[in-house]
């Protein structure tokens, strides 16, 4: 991601100064957040959404009109605390293993909602379906391990293929 982003910034520098500046400042914000000087384990849903949005801004400069995204967060969920780096790795996976594999416009949606007493995070994309068992690379495996350590059986990671393809994290009893 960093290598591709820096190459994109270098390529844009002579073409579009405003896009170059936007991409560089978004990348800077991402790294500031990820350095985590306070060593916090949790952040608010709003903070995590803001970080995912910075990531998407960088990717939007790279992909241009081939990336379209929306974010929907229920008001009740905005200030809930969730582990840092739960949303962005799911978004990155959707782009890397989904949207980058199609020739048309990639559509991505982040949806965070309250369902009964549970906090549900879904990342939808219109890329190819997941394999029967999504390959757990570093990102998904790290996320799975983090959820198991912090929540045990109170967290569930699953996915759905088809027209509403998505990956979902359910954090039980958060309301």
For residue 63, the model assigns a pLDDT of: 87
List of long-range contacts for 49-56, beta carbons under 8 Å, 24+ apart: 49/73, 49/87, 49/110, 49/112, 51/87, 51/88, 52/87, 52/88, 52/91, 52/110, 54/26, 54/27, 54/29, 54/30, 55/26, 55/30, 55/88, 55/91, 55/92, 56/91, 56/108
Q: What are phi and psi of 102, to 5 degrees?
A: -110, 160
What's this model's pTM, rounded to 2 decimal places? 0.85
> Which pLDDT tens digit goes with each residue over 43-96?
999 999 999 998 998 888 888 899 999 999 999 999 999 999 899 989 988 998
pLDDT band at 8 (very low <50, low <70, confident <90, very high): confident
Q: Distance between CA atoms of 122 and 160, rounded to whole angstroms?
A: 10
């Amino acid at each position: 991601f960093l290598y591709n982003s820096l190459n994109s910034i270098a390529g844009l520098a002579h073409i579009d100064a405003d896009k170059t500046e936007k991409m560089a400042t978004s990348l800077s914000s991402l790294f500031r957040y990820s350095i985590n000087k306070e060593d916090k384990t949790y952040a608010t849903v709003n903070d995590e959404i803001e970080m995912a949005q910075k990531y998407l801004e960088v990717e939007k400069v790279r992909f241009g009109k081939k990336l379209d995204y929306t974010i929907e967060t229920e008001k009740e969920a905005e200030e809930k605390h969730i582990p840092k780096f739960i949303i962005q790795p799911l978004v990155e996976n959707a782009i890397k293993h989904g949207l980058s594999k199609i020739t048309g416009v990639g559509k991505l949606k982040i949806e965070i909602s309250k369902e009964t007493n549970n906090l549900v995070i879904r990342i939808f994309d219109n890329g190819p379906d997941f394999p029967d068992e999504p390959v757990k690379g570093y990102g998904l495996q790290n996320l799975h391990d983090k959820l198991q350590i912090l929540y045990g059986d109170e967290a569930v990671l699953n996915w759905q293929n088809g027209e509403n393809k998505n990956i979902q994290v359910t954090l039980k009893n958060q309301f």
